[in-house]
Each structure stands twice: as C-alpha cells, then as structure tokens.
Amino acid sequence: MDIHRMYDEIIVNSEWPQMDMITDDYILSTRFLIEDTSQFEDILVMQCPASAVRSEIILIKTDDVRSAYDLLEQRREKAIDRDSLYPEDKKIAERSIVGTVGDTAYFLMGESAEDAEKIILGMK
C-alpha cells in the first residue's frame, strides 16, 4: 500500500488541521520513539503544530508489521502518559487508534481518527 496516497485520502476525505511532516531524527526519536527509520520500507510522520488541536498521523510500511504496531502502541502510551499537558489533549490521546492493514501499521490521533481508520480500511 502506498502510504502517501493513504495520507492524501485521509486528508481529503476527513477533517484534519494543517499538518507538518516530521523528518528530524532527533524529534522522531525523542518525541515519537522512532529510533531508526531505515528499518522500514517507508514512513510518514505528520503532526499538527503545537499551537493547534492535538493531531498526529503516523503511517509505516514494512515487512515487519508486528514490530511497527508495537512501536506505535508505545507512541500511543507516551502520548497519553507523558505528552498530554491538558485534559482535552489526554482525552484525544486516549481515543487514538493503532492498527494494521496489509503491510502498513498506523497511528491516528485526532478528532477524526475513527473516520481516518475507516478510510484506511476501505483502501484494501
């Protein structure tokens, strides 16, 4: 599955704020717990700027979907336990979704996470 096409479908067909692509290795490691992007066939990490509504979309294409899923579960736990500064942020993080479809693992955090997952699952 093409994760960039998947992201485009999510953005076009559900409501998300403007998001920025995160590529800095230090930020990926410390904030998102992604130590080595070279282990994946493709990865897309998108985040809303800090001043806006709490939103993240992480898509990982890999042969080892289970490991990517586990990594994204750790990201979800960190988002809930350590990164949520306000009660509303924590609620959004608690409703976040980690899942897999085919060779792709995904993390969806935002008001439209459920809609985005439906879009992903419909792309099979």
Cα 63 to Cα 89: distance, rounded to the nearest angstrom: 32
CA dihedral of 39, 28, 16, 91, whole degrees rounded to 10:
110
List, in order, residues 6 or more apart from 113 with CB less than 8 Å away.
Answer: 95, 96, 97
Question: Kind of pairing, strands 97-101 and 42-47?
Answer: unpaired
Cα 50 to Cα 63: distance, rounded to the nearest angstrom: 32
Q: What's the whole-model pTM score?
A: 0.95
Tens of each residue's pLDDT in the chain, 124 residues:
899 999 999 999 999 999 999 999 999 999 999 999 999 999 999 999 866 678 999 999 999 999 999 999 999 999 999 998 889 999 999 999 999 999 999 999 999 999 999 999 998 6
pLDDT value at residue 54: 87
